[in-house]
Structure 1
Amino acid sequence: MPDVYKQSFKQNYTNNIELSIFNCGLERCAPGQTWGPGIRDHYLIHLVVSGKGIFEVGGRTWEVSEGDLFFARPSQLIRYTADEQQPWEYSWVGFNGACAHKLAAQLPFTDDAPVHHTSDPDGMRAALNNIYSSRGLQPQDEAAMVGYLYLFIAALMRETSAGKPHTASSSSQYVLNAIKYIQFNYSHDISIDDVAKSVGVSRSHLYRVFMLNVGKSPIDYLTEYRINEACKLLRAGSLSIAEVAVSVGFFDQFYFSRVFKRAKGVPPSKYFAAQQDADPASPAQL
């Protein structure tokens, strides 16, 4: 059996709130090598380039082999184990961010089918290798990695479209339209009823399709999006906290501060101060 190896890269922090790579790499595993059971705080895609193994999620088990991709969502309890006789070799990328949810909804994975056999294994492997080869800690490195991640996701989207030509009317399309509405209107005084009305479904149906496709409720997504946008403005350092609050759709500064602290663990004033203390000459780098 070829020697086992592991080459990986992990970001310690990220400047890109919209779409961020958490880690990436390639590995040839030892027989029976396993990860989990455990959860990740990001989306994770593996491509098996040789060998085989087992992927477990949601109390179900899938056999995975060469040419298969397996997919895990944030906070899912998962375990994956290399075969004892033919242990797998795989490449992977982990990512998250405000745009990650809408992108993941367009990939060829569902809770009932978290494994997808690609029609272009060489192209998928090359795309993942490009991400890893661009690794680095400088802003230009992150930009290159995220650019290659978009190309990898685009290739997966094409396979989704080829395999599911009628997905436009599926629940994921309602979610995509709702996310687009949120991203264009989050700075206004919008409610989830407004979001549901914009896509032509009831509030309860919107809740169900969000939980199915995104793993969180519409109000949680809206709040997270607003808070992430607030973080950008706070790092820029040109607005007061009250001005930031209004700019992201919170018209009560004290309520904004409570929500921000619940999301980030510190109030906006301390978040802003921490950015300034860390690098007062260049807050946007934090």
Structure 2
Amino acid sequence: MEDSYVLELVEPKFRDFHLLHCGYARCKPCHSYGPATRPNYIIHYILEGKGTYQVGERKYQLSAGQGFLIEPETLTFYQADVQEPWSYLWVGVGGYAATEHIRNIGLNEDQLIFRYRDGERLKKIVLEMLKHTKVSVANLYYLQGKLYEFFSALTEDEVIDSCVDISKENNYIQEAVTYIRNHYSKGLNVMDIARHMNVNRSYLYTIFKDNLGMSPKDFLTKFQISQAREQLALTDLSIEEVAESCGYRSCLVFSKAFKKENGMTPTEYRRRRRQEEKRTAVASEEELAGLGRKTSLKLNNQKR
């Protein structure tokens, strides 16, 4: 069982990209959903506790501060932990441009899990959505704005945030970063990026140096290692499997790059992060007291 608050839109106003439903749930021990498929994308973010998310043979042990993507028509299963059942929020989206927006936040069929540091921010956005249940054009525009705010938050990336403003060089840097996000696991190199951008390698080097203060190769490495950190923290994949999922064909090369970037080996990093996870706690749920169990433009009580 779960204690849930749900908002569902029956007829979205915006066709390209729109909110379908959102909600918050406090789950009982071992509460599960699936195996089942969904017709649209759903992003879950865990506020408290732990649980398991499974897609095919891939199984992830997740906890507060982490999230997962459900893709359309993909068989998935997820279950709350028996000792520390999770509480999570979710946002379901649709529209013909939904896949592009999902890819822009760095999620795809190869990258189904993520970490986000400011759970309070996401919680505030979804709680505001749940409060706006009046059937009106104004509310539909308000909810659309909140949806973009939710995606804006998830688009933040520690690698990109640490760089100089990337908006100075028209669309080249943005396009390159999006390409890296969506293909880093394929073993990209700088020539692949330049070829995709239809520019020569020296020009690509120049715009990266001028705008980000680093070469394309250094940026790609930083991004791959940032994703490796998430994999090490979120999954039980072996070091070899993490290396391969982040585009490294040699575990030795991966370990050297990881240690250079983080000052410790992948194994040491995983051990420290697991110790930190045991001490993690996320914010209280006092704002939920004023919410109804079933709210919507149209509402329902479907489990997510």
- Tell me which residue corresponds to 2:28: 30
Among 169, 181, 189, the residue aligned to 2:176: 169
- The one-letter amino acid of 1:62's match is Y
Q: Distance in 1 between matches of 2:11 and 2:94?
A: 12
Q: Distance in 2 between matches of 1:174 and 1:5?
A: 35
Q: CA deviation at 1:161?
A: 5.7
Q: Secondary structure at the match of 2:133?
A: coil
- Tell me which residue corresponds to 2:283: none
Among 11, 14, 22, the residue aligned to 1:13: 11
Gapped regions of structure 2 (runs ≥ 5): 164-172, 183-195, 200-304
- Is the CA contact 1:38–1:79 (under 8 Å) kept in the aligned structure 2? yes
CA distance 1:161–1:174, change in 2 (3 Å): closer
Gapped regions of structure 1 (runs ≥ 5): 176-197, 202-286
- Is the CA contact 1:46–1:70 (under 8 Å) kept in the aligned structure 2? yes
- Tell me which residue corresponds to 2:301: none
- Tell me which residue corresponds to 1:147: 145
More divergent stretch after superposition (163-172 vs 116-125): 163-172
- Is the CA contact 2:18–2:93 (under 8 Å) kept in the aligned structure 1? yes
- Is the CA contact 1:48–1:68 (under 8 Å) kept in the aligned structure 2? yes
Q: CA deviation at 1:142?
A: 1.6
- The one-letter amino acid of 1:76's match is T
Larger RCO, structure (CA 8 Å, separation 6 or more): 2
Give per-residue Cα distances to partners, 1:137-184, cap 9 Å, x unaligned.
322222111110101101111127638978843674799xxxxxxxxx
With normalisation by structure 2, the TM-score equals 0.52
CA distance 1:130–1:172, change in 2 (3 Å): farther
Q: How does 1:132-211 map to 2 (within 5 A)?
A: 132-159=130-157, 162=160, 168-169=175-176, 172=179
- The one-letter amino acid of 1:114's match is L
Q: Distance in 2 between matches of 1:86 and 1:106?
A: 32
With normalisation by structure 1, the TM-score equals 0.55
Q: CA deviation at 1:134?
A: 2.4
CA distance 1:161–1:167, change in 2 (3 Å): farther
- Is the CA contact 1:48–1:89 (under 8 Å) kept in the aligned structure 2? yes
Q: Distance in 2 between matches of 1:59 and 1:103?
A: 26
Give the superposed CA RMSD: 3.0
Q: Distance in 2 between matches of 1:54 and 1:5?
A: 18
Aligned residues: 178
- Tell me which residue corresponds to 1:102: 100
Q: Distance in 2 between matches of 1:174 and 1:55?
A: 22
- Is the CA contact 1:11–1:23 (under 8 Å) kept in the aligned structure 2? yes
